[in-house]
Amino acid sequence: MRAGLATLDILEDGNLGARGAALGARLRDQLTTRLSMYQMINEVPGLGMMSAIEFQPPKKLRFRILFETFSRIHPAVFGQ
């Protein structure tokens, strides 16, 4: 119980929850900006420092064929 209370004190004293939320939002903003040129990126959702990249099939046929081929070879390649 003491260890749990000490951990909660550290989280509160360091304001780690708010820092994690702010850093996570900043990370997602930068990822969204830098990945916006790629057709396969749909969105970058997240909560706190936990972030993800959501893929979508590209609009250009040439890239969509490759996307579909890789998706069929290993279905989880764009979904892990």
Q: Over the stretch 33-71, which tens digit does the pLDDT of each residue have?
A: 999 999 889 999 999 999 999 988 888 888 888 888 888
* Within-domain flag for 31: yes
Residues 7-35, mean pLDDT to the nearest whole number: 93
Residue at 79 is within a domain? no
Residues 20-45, mean pLDDT to the nearest whole number: 94
Q: Where do the H-state alpha helices sit in the chain?
A: 2-13, 16-35, 61-73
What is the percent of the chain where pLDDT is above 70? Answer: 98
pTM over 0.75: no
Domain count, the chain: 1
Structural domain span for residue 54: 2-73
Q: Is the residue at 53 inside a domain?
A: yes
Residue 24 included in any domain = yes
Q: How many whole angstroms separate alpha carbon 3 and alpha carbon 53?
A: 35
Predicted local confidence at residue 45, as pLDDT: 95
